[in-house]
Structure 1
């Protein structure tokens, strides 16, 4: 299949020139231009000729891990409180495995057609409508993620400044609306100007170290904190369980089922959304191959699984049934250690924004300038417009998570389950994998599961709006 496409009569573009143009040169050529056949150990493999990746394996792991981790980690202890330890571990492991399988489907599709751009896979499967659909879903989801991160900055940074500078009375310095503009201009915008995503590996590594510090603090607090019933700042409504009585709030529950249990499933699913970043990271990977990129994905998912699990377990074992949807809210605001932890979490989500911005810019370029080479004016202008839009949303919309909740309920299942499965079914030729083959049947089941997740998520969002209940969430 790949050899036939390579011999379709198209000339191979000049490698050096495209390397200079950067990864955006990927979209300039037809599928047949993407590959040259080569032989290794008797097997025909594919080599990309349009762009030479320079990002190391470790930096790629940092970038993908940073794309996975998000504000949803703050709600996982709450999710465990509403499922119990056993159900939570099973669900988290199940979703992590499904996420790795989803990335496998994407890489298989990229290997067949020689395209390492999510939108172009949509174009190959369904033509222009598929390309537009994929680009719009990526744009909606990542704008929602960027907004949720900056909303955390808007709400938490004034409290951190007030805690670090108690005598400060400057109104503008304690106003989150001004602070997100300052953070966007001084931190996010310069990082968003990077020509390649691989350059953000260093900031991604630092961001992950901040989240590790958060995890260490959560573990430490478990061993120095007493039962939350004795803390006046922690009075919440007890959780009802069909397995446990409500009067024992300081005992870990292995299995818990209550009305909030169903809300936790989408939360854990969204915690592993990183798929818009997978193919751009694959593009810039040094010595790229499907196996090498799958190893990047597997290591990243495993590392985030361990971090998620430890955060949830120790956060839950600190506050048990009293834990709230945002774990940081459970700790005293006068605690110096947790003040530093809040600052670390803010740094982490701030440094994640540029990583999330790259796929949006790629999607916009795919829709508006599909045949144009890399140009700094377009590169910078799109970043400015995106940051301006997100800042407006965060400044003027009071409940950003509610507004983007519906977008997240539709885009996350689409990116994890539906689109990768459908792409695989349509792109992988039937002579290689018949429709009734085991892999195609698995892909069909995978797409079906995605629609189930989407229906569940939308239903939960509607129930929340109707009843006024609050659930944890966010990526």
Structure 2
């Protein structure tokens, strides 16, 4: 099992706890988790870098035109929807952390195992793998299509045909030189530096969007990164990790809102779904617009290595959970994931539609369905307790929203 992100228990330890009386097992689980987290977190990642890593996972979860959404829903409607998504994400993370304390695990996959045995573990791992491969491929597709256009705007003459304007060539160079080395890092906390850089790119993007227009990630899916970050946090505790989560979600919400408002106030009803393309029409070769484009591309690029971690961990836990950490296996899995996402970004012509279907199903499961379902299964509280009722509402809402969204995506896909 991967050393940096492995669960903080063994399946045998779980079995023994499961055979004990309920109160005793819960207390022992809390002690086991506390001892292991403090051992791992004694020289772990600081609060600030943990926030940056989590924000990078949030902001990089999917690219949509926020101002375009605001133009179609209105400022009040957009504000309500954005706030609702943020609160739901925070609550589902709260449920995940509560289950970690109860079960003494710090892995989403092991929560599935604890709730439904091996099928639950495989179900969660498979969902994480599909969702993360889809997300990484989509980000690389953005880089492949937008980076050559951004570079060409800095050039005064036509350099068509040169390697630095070929999307596939740039994509391979970037993946070999940046994505693969960063994804090889053994601990997710090491990416705190690159995540902080990505965060400042996004802040710059939001602050100048009254002039340079934002297209920003409209998603709060960070759940696959929550537990690895929790496991490496300095002085780890449920309260401290919840504070990390609330801080990251609150700042991300603020960035989203500022970006959407300024973008909407720039174009009003002329807002395009791809807002950067709109600015290219009205302000071609403008230095601020071109700089912002590069910032967004770098922010997206620095998110890809972060998404490697939960995808690699899921593969490791399904196929190599009983093996000790190996750098050879670690490197080969990272290389295989890198090759898959590069090939998808290069050869699938309409990957956004394909993974729109995947994302509509897997993202909903990870945010709504799994946290609610697992809490209903594992919690010993009365069903009429507030937490369990909240988990039930989360579970049912996830099924309804997921099916409705998936139907819309498939209908739009078929129509096109």
Check whether TM > 0.5.
Answer: yes
Q: Compute the displacement of 1:169 (Å).
A: 4.7
Q: Distance in 1 between matches of 2:346 and 2:269?
A: 34
Counterpart-to-counterpart distance in 2, 1:370 and 1:443: 29
Residues 107 and 36 (structure 1), Cα distance of their counterparts in 2 relative to 1, 3 Å cut: closer
Cα contact 1:28–1:373 (8 A) shared by 2: no
Are 1:450 and 2:401 matched, yes or no? no
Q: Which residue in the other structure is 1:115 paired with?
A: 105
CA contact (8 A) 1:422 1:444 kept: yes
Residue-by-residue CA offset, 1:324-352 (whole Å, 9 max, x unaligned) = 11221110242221111111111000000
Q: Tell me by how many angstroms 1:456 deviates.
A: 1.5
> What is the match of residue 20 of structure 2?
none
Q: Secondary structure at the match of 1:160?
A: helix
| 1:388-467 mapped onto 2 (5 Å cutoff) | 388-429=339-380, 433-467=381-415
User: In the TM superposition, what whole-angstrom CA distance separates every residue of 1:336-390 from its partner, at most 9, and x where no partner exists?
Assistant: 2111111111100000001111000000001000111211011111110001000
Q: Does 1:180 align with 2:174?
A: no
3-state DSSP class of the match of 1:83?
helix
Secondary structure of the residue that 1:325 maps to in structure 2?
Answer: coil
Aligned to 2:126: 136
Q: How many residues were matched structurally? A: 398
CA deviation profile, 1:271-295 (whole Å, cap 9, x unmatched): 1111111011111111111110000
Q: Secondary structure at the residue paired with 2:382?
A: coil
Moved more, 370-379 or 385-394: 370-379
- In structure 2, the CA distance between the partners of 1:109 and 1:452, relative to structure 1 (3 Å rule), is same
Contact 1:66 1:207 in 2 (8 A): yes
Q: How much does 1:72 deviate?
A: 4.0
SS in 2 for 1:49: helix
* C-alpha distance in structure 2 between counterparts of 1:315 and 1:206, whole Å: 23
Match of 2:22 in 1: none
User: Which is further off, 395-404 or 167-176?
Assistant: 167-176
1:463 and 1:366 map into 2 onto residues whose CA distance is: 35
Q: 1:169 to 1:297 in 2, by over 3 A?
A: same
TM-score (norm 1): 0.79
Q: Which runs of 5+ in 1 are unaligned?
A: 1-17, 223-266, 469-475
User: Does the residue aligned with 1:110 lie in a helix, a strand or coil?
Assistant: helix
In structure 2, relative to structure 1, the CA distance for the partners of 1:446 and 1:417 (3 Å cut) is same
Instruction: Say which of 119, 137, 150 aligns to 1:160.
Output: 150
**2 CA distance for matches of 1:128 and 1:366?**
11
Note the aligned Cα RMSD (angstroms): 2.4
Which residue in 2 is equivalent to 1:282?
A: 230
Instruction: Verify: 1:76 aligned to 2:76, yes or no.
Output: no
Give how far 1:436 is off.
2.9
C-alpha separation in 2, matches of 1:36 and 1:127: 18
Greater gyration radius:
1
Matched, 1:335 2:286: yes
Per the TM alignment, residue 44 of structure 1 is displaced from its structure 2 partner at its CA by 7.7
Report the Cα offset of residue 435 of structure 1.
2.3
Q: For 2:268 and 2:13, how far apart are their aligned partners in 1?
A: 54
From 61, 64, 69, the equivalent of 2:54 is 64
Residue correspondence of structure 1 range 250-261 to structure 2 within 5 A? none
Aligned to 2:45: 55
Does the aligned pair in 1 maintain the 2:6–2:107 contact within 8 Å? no
Q: Which runs of 5+ in 2 are unaligned?
A: 18-24
Which whole-Å CA distance do the structure 1 matches of 2:303 and 2:12 have between them? Answer: 32
- Cα distance in 2 for partners of 1:78, 1:133 equals 35
